Structure 1
Amino acid sequence: MTNISMSPFTDETQWTDSPRGFTVSHFTLYMGDENSDRHLKHYHSTMILYRNNDAFMCKIFTTTLLGEAQGWYHTLSSRSIQNFNELSLIFTKEYSFNCLIKRTSNHLFSVIKDHWETICNYVKKFKAEKAKIAGCNEDIVTTSFRNGLPTEHPLFIGLIMGEKLILAASYALAEKHTLWDKAKQSM
């Protein structure tokens, strides 16, 4: 049994009872390996009816932690947290490295095909980076895809010589050039 004095919450928070009629909602559990901001937003939206009960918000939040995050919670100093804002700040500081960096379409210009990489792998890598960007500009995406290729590669030449291609057509053309990569690697 855990000693109540080991709680990171002040006595007032620790001894707060659950509101009448409260039933445990389904919470997404946080293990320490995902976006902490997203977890806090989900928690806030789930607990919207109880947001004015700061102590209760603190106590229930700890039930959403699992694994590494639950271990982190147990390392917090005894009686060091007075309210949910403090808990949110400490939580965010601890797990801020998991927050996604907002990127623009221009980020795709940094995705370049390595000389040893197959076209198939380059397309997979490019698509993965594109998926991380909301609202991509199609012209920038298509141009950055082409510019990530070596200039001597037939696909690059095909994309330069082709009329204004859309990204889907660029991917289809890339599949056709997979054979060129295989022939080059066997030399």
Structure 2
Amino acid sequence: MTNINMSSFTNEIERADPPHGFTMPHFILYKGDEDPNQHLKHYRSTMILYRNNDALMCKIFATTLEGEAQDWFQTLPPQSIGSFNELSFVFTKEYSSNHSIKRTFDHLFSIVKDPWETIRDYVKRFKAEKAKIVSCNEDIATTAFRNGLPTEHPLFRKLIMGEKLTLAALYALAKKHALWDEAKQSNKNESEKKHMERSPTREDLASETFTEFTVPIGQILRKLKNEPWFELPPPMKGYLTRLDHTKYCAFHQGPGHTTNGYLKWKQYLEKLTNEGRCDEYLDKSTKRPTQAREVSITP
């Protein structure tokens, strides 16, 4: 770091006093961990009425620094700064490693909707990346947004076959599709929740009998899940906010019910028992089944 203090100004700068009626503007403070050019841009726009008063521009700039940046400012050597342009140069040079990488419109074409990302989240991410591009052409942004969608998505078909839209109209249309997607997913999850939580029927109880163990089956899962032959089902996917988050199942890796009460885990555990992998947990009074049953662990 350059060995440079408050006494760094020339005598003219040190004697600079705010003009009559001057009110200290509100500045965003700079700590030394962000883009120095952005800070200078904000400072100049805030001090636009005094930009011709070079000495005042230098003196007030010190009040916009804090932390590490203020410590750096205090190390500026005497008589080293003669103008605000010089101060700006030294400041940006000191914090050059924090310069933001400028984006071009080509960057937008690298933004692709992830398979499990909602339209709402995709729009939010796209807007954030577009905001990093100065003077981005709207037609290019519209094309990039459309190309980032899966070709099978109804919004993509709407955009590719419909009339040309402004970017604002495209965002409005995407919002409608987001609401439709969320409502559809919500209904699907509600149906799945009811199916998982329904009480067993007499037919279920008659056809599903499980081996008794000396410990809770959730405890058995904790011991078996790190075995190389053990298979966990894929995690739950989709819109999960409507599930009971006070209950967690370690087998399907998601909320909605407890591990001990999950039918798929009971079925898979029965298969492992038939293969002789759970003998240490068996109730000795229970005879182990002799034939394994094939069980799918897809949730």
TM-score normalised by length of structure 1: 0.69
Q: CA deviation at 1:155?
A: 3.5
Residues 76/169 of structure 1: CA separation in 2 closer, same or farther (3 Å cut): same
Q: Which residue of 1 aligns with 2:90?
A: 90
Q: Is the 8 A contact 2:118 2:178 kept in 1?
A: no
* 2:225 corresponds to 1:185: no
Q: Which residue of 1 aligns with 2:121?
A: 121
Q: Which residue of 2 aligns with 1:28?
A: 27
Q: Which residue of 1 aligns with 2:176?
A: 172
Q: Is the 8 A contact 2:10 2:78 kept in 1?
A: no
Which protein, 1 or 2, shows the higher relative CO under an 8 Å CA cutoff with sep ≥ 6?
Answer: 1
Q: Any idea what the Cα deviations from partners look like across 1:99-147, whole Å, max 9, x if unmatched? A: 573644x432121112332222112111222344455434322221121
* 2:45 corresponds to 1:42: yes
Q: Is the 8 A contact 1:43 1:61 kept in 2?
A: no
Q: Which residue of 1 aligns with 2:15?
A: 16
Q: Which residue of 2 aligns with 1:101?
A: 102
Q: Is the 8 A contact 1:30 1:39 kept in 2?
A: no
Q: Which residue of 2 aligns with 1:144?
A: 144
Q: Which has the larger radius of gyration?
A: 2
Q: Is the 8 A contact 1:7 1:79 kept in 2?
A: no
Q: Which residue of 1 aligns with 2:70?
A: 70
- Supply the RMSD in Å over aligned alpha carbons: 3.5
SS of corresponding position for 1:176: helix
Q: Is the 8 A contact 2:62 2:73 kept in 1?
A: yes
Identical positions, percent: 42
Q: Is the 8 A contact 1:10 1:82 kept in 2?
A: yes
Q: Is the 8 A contact 2:8 2:76 kept in 1?
A: no
Q: CA deviation at 1:42?
A: 2.2
Q: Is the 8 A contact 2:44 2:51 kept in 1?
A: no
Q: Is the 8 A contact 2:10 2:81 kept in 1?
A: no
Q: Is the 8 A contact 1:102 1:133 kept in 2?
A: yes
Q: Is the 8 A contact 2:57 2:84 kept in 1?
A: yes
Structure ranking higher in helix proportion: 1
Q: Which residue of 1 aligns with 2:59?
A: 59
1-structure distance, mates of 2:85, 2:132: 30
1-structure distance, mates of 2:176, 2:142: 12
